[in-house]
Amino acid sequence: MSFHLDAFGLSVEPFTKEIEDRDLWLPPSKRGLVDELVDAIEARESVLVTGEPGVGKTCVLRALRNALPAERYRLTYCHNATLGRRDFYRQLCLALGLQPSATAAAVFYAVTTQVEDLARERQHPVFLLDEAHLLHQDTLDHLHILLNYAWDSKALLSLVLVGLSDLDDRLRLRRNRSLYSRLHRRLLLDPLSPEDTADYVRLRLERAGGGRELFASDAIALLHEATGGALRELDRLATACLRAAARKKRKAVDRDIVSRVVRSSSPEERP
Ligand SMILES: Nc1ncnc2c1ncn2[C@@H]1O[C@H](COP(=O)(O)OP(=O)(O)OP(=O)(O)O)[C@@H](O)[C@H]1O
Ligand SMILES: [Mg+2]
């Protein structure tokens, strides 16, 4: 077991990405977003979710998966957005359990047939496309076709596009307006508030079997400032703080430790 876990009586690493869906942290701000996504998908709509790096977009998708009844929705998660159009459709086929076809037209036909089968079985397909800011323009150009079915009277599937904030700017371009206009809801995942940061740190410590007060309040306030409300950065710094406190044989992480860790882990701020 790691030295810092031993030192603070923690049973597992507290700030790790290995977290079960059911243990995901959902404060009111995130719960509201997941509810809105569920609502959109129940209405067979498509959605755009954007946010800065590490604010918890992919975890919101996991919470969504957990919230939707599996018997009514077939979810497909794809994070390989860098593929060209043809490979992208092949991947969509594989994810839907279809034989990948050689031409884009055949793939499109296979996808639409499968979607009809699913509709007969009363299962609505939901395609979750993570890291969508990396999509090639070539793929984006065709994506709206998937949302445009039966003379545009029905949606073949619900598309959930997730990516960094510049995805929104890109989709607003004239060239992408067909797709953008079919994304019924455009949601923004904000960075954490200072209260959220405190709540998150304490919850994850508690889940790892540690005391909620392992980080002093002013230490958490400084962590919040340093991370700007981004969760991945918070995980990284909080772990470094626990290690530093254990090395110094402290009982808890105080503001001074956070300040040292922040300085030593941001090389550009060194004199
Ligand atoms: N709801 C949550 N509950 C628990 N931990 C979370 C939650 N959201 C985020 N995290 C933590 O923060 C890390 C980063 O979150 P996530 O990968 O969802 O961010 P992201 O916005 O998708 O980042 P990127 O822009 O790099 O794709 C996760 O690995 C996890 O440790
Ligand atoms: Mg992500």
pLDDT average, residue stretch 54-70: 95
Residue 257 Cα to ligand 2 middle (Å)? 29
The answer on 199 and 154 residing in a single domain is: no
Residues 236 and 110 reside in one and the same domain: no
Q: How confident is the model at residue 157 (pLDDT cuts 50, 70, 90)?
A: confident
Tell me the average pLDDT across 223-232. Answer: 97
Domain that holds residue 9: 3-13+192-264
Of 20, 58, 61, 80, the residue with max ligand 1 atoms within 8 A of its CB, to mutate for a pocket test, comes to 58
Give me ligand 2 centre to Cα 154, in Å: 29
Q: Is 235 in the pocket of ligand 1 (CB under 6 A)?
A: yes
Is the confidence at residue 139, as pLDDT, over 90?
no
Domain shared by 203 and 73, yes or no: no
**Number of the ligand closest to the Cα of 130:** 2
The whole-number average pLDDT for the span 224-249 is 96
82 near 136, Cβ under 8 Å?
yes
pLDDT digits (tens, 9 = 90+) for 161-196: 999 999 999 999 999 999 999 999 999 999 999 999
Q: Which of 189, 204, 221 finishes a domain?
A: 189
Mean pLDDT, residues 192-216 taken together: 93
Q: Residue 246 above 90 pLDDT?
A: yes
Longest dimension (CA), the chain: 69
173 shares its domain with 58: yes
Of 12 and 268, which is predicted with more confidence?
Answer: 12
Give the residue whose CA is nearest to atom 23 of ligand 1: 54
Give the SS3 label for residue 89: helix
Q: pLDDT averaged over the chain?
A: 88
Q: Convert the pLDDT of each residue in 81-136 to its tens digit.
A: 888 878 887 777 776 667 776 566 776 777 778 777 777 777 888 989 999 999 99
Q: What is the pTM of this model?
A: 0.90
Number of domains in the chain: 2
Can you tell me which atom of ligand 1 is nearest the CA of 163?
A: 25
pLDDT for the residue 34? 97
Buried b / exposed e along 191-227 (16+ C-beta atoms within 10 A) = bbeeebbbebbbebbebbebeeebbbeebbbbbbebb
Same-domain status, 73 and 150: yes
- CB of 51 sitting under 6 A from ligand 1: yes
Pair 176, 198 in one domain? no
Same domain, 214 and 89: no
pLDDT of res. 55: 97
Ligand 1 atom nearest 234 alpha carbon: 12
**Strand 73-78 vs strand 47-51: parallel, antiparallel, or unpaired?**
unpaired
Q: How many CB atoms lie within 10 A of CB 125?
A: 23
| Cβ of 30 below 6 Å from ligand 1 | yes
Find the mean pLDDT for residues 56-79.
Answer: 92
Which range has the worst mean pLDDT, 9-18, 64-73, 111-120, 218-227?
111-120
